[in-house]
Amino acid sequence: MGAAFRLGTVTYGDGRLSHELDPSDRSPQDACGVFGVWVPPDEASRAEVSKLTYYGLYALQHRGQESAGIAVSDGARIVVFKDMGLVAQVFDESVLNTLRGHLAIGHCRYSTTGSPTWENAQPTFRSTDSGGLALAHNGNLINTAELAAKLEPGQLTATSDTEVLTALLATRPGGPAEAAKDILPVTRGAYSLVFMDERTLYAARDPEGIRPLVLGKLERGWVVASETAALDIVGAVFVREVEPGELLTIDEDGVRTQRFAEARPKGCLFEYVYVARPDTSIAGRSVQATRVEVGRRLAREHPVEADMVIPTPESGTPAAIGYAEASGIPYGQGFVKNSYVGRTFIEPSQTIRQLGIRLKLNPLREAIEGKRLVVVDDSIVRGNTQRAIVRMLREAGAAEVHVRISSPPVAWPCFYGIDFATRAELIAGNLSVEEVRASLGADSLGYISLDELIASTHQPKDRLCRACFDGVYPIPVEEDARGKHLLESL
């Protein structure tokens, strides 16, 4: 990682890993985790906010595994440290001990289809008239070019939506809260934000509430995070979700709330399917309970005669448990998973993706040889993972392989922060269910229906974003003019 170097009021990690942004790569999206903590200044030495943030990001590591960063303030200046790699690779005891203060924000990031470069790591930082502002963002804006046009020439030094938003908040007069009330109502897309100046922590969520954000209470202090699991890890008590269209201000006066837009709740349905940790709660319901219930409903919708139900670990495990319960088919372990290999469906290189599948899973031949198997997974995006799994199981001696998926076909791209880049890349966007089955080489294929998935969440259909499944986008956006991170005109 190397030593840090200081630039103005901000310290960055070693820039040795930085590269030029590829101007032809026009569609990088973020699938990220954000965390923020504020404690009274007299608690700073005891609370160690940088370490709380480290553990919070560790709990959110599944949301972003390419870069990590922490910004911390001691009331006089903001210091930022960020670099490429996992949270535990970027930060060690010596680094965290230099990040002293009473409030902090943190971020872990996937570059998805964009370049995994140091410049794109967060939190971002901008100097202001009164000091500095650091910001961390989970989501994807769809009117980045429109927002960038509000800046004066020379105010924008990079071309990501997060950089544009940071610059706007930093250059508006009146401080971050006033700037946010001015800028956020005209910001379109998905955003869960944590940002800070030298003394105050802020949190905001887009009016649709597409990406999650929750508020927690420490014994003395406050925490905001992408998931409730991160609150648990740092010993914070869940208070509530940050409301869609809400801006929180947290300082010595406590938590104050302002509404910058009317709430139009459309929480991401794919959070229930895959993104969130199973020990997280969304809208008061355990993600684990939802996924097990999906498996039960999947078994009723797509029964089959088989000898064993196995999950694709770990994402298919809860639904496989539910499928086994409802079907009466024994649950078993069919694979050994290497836990140190990252997710495969969002790695940018096709070659690496295919290699990653083989690195990630190895079949247990003695458990599956001669068996009729039901293989339960959470989703099929491009089909590479499931195709390799079916092939591996057959090579290991499985008599039959029946694939069951605990989400409907992913047939539409996401413009709100999940890496479903184009419809052409989505196997269900181009093939029928029978054609997908044949492509995978499975004996049968069954997806949960959209209505049954929604029923499992205990949320009304009209409060969920289902765009990747049904093509109904809560924030209208044209695929060929989607306003993603890189701005061709800048």
Catalytic residues: 32
Q: How many CB atoms lie under 10 A from the CB of residue 432?
A: 10
The amino acid sitting at 277 is R
- What do you get for the CA distance between the two ends of the chain, in Å? 31
Tokens of 153: 């020439």
Q: CB-based contacts of 441: which residues, under 8 Å, 6+ apart?
A: 387, 390, 391, 394, 401
Q: Which residues pair with 282 in a beta bridge?
A: 285
Distant-in-sequence, close-in-space partners of 185: CB < 8 Å, separation ≥ 6: 260, 261
* Cα separation, 29 vs 440, whole angstroms: 28
Peptide bond into 314 cis (omega under 30): yes
For residue 394, give every residue at least 6 positions away whose Cβ sits within 8 Å of its Cβ, in sequence order, or none.
401, 441
Our CA angle for 418, 67, 30, nearest 5°, is 20
CA–CA distances in Å: residue 363 to residues 170, 313, 336, 369: 52, 11, 6, 10
Tell me, rounded to whole angstroms, the distance of Cα 163 from its chain centroid.
18
Distance CA 123, CA 107 (A): 6
Rounded Cα distance between 393 and 367, Å, is 11
Q: Which of 101, 57, 56, 96 is nearest to 78 (CA)?
A: 101
Q: Are strands 372-377 and 308-311 parallel, antiparallel or unpaired?
A: parallel
Pairing of strands 254-259, 246-251: antiparallel
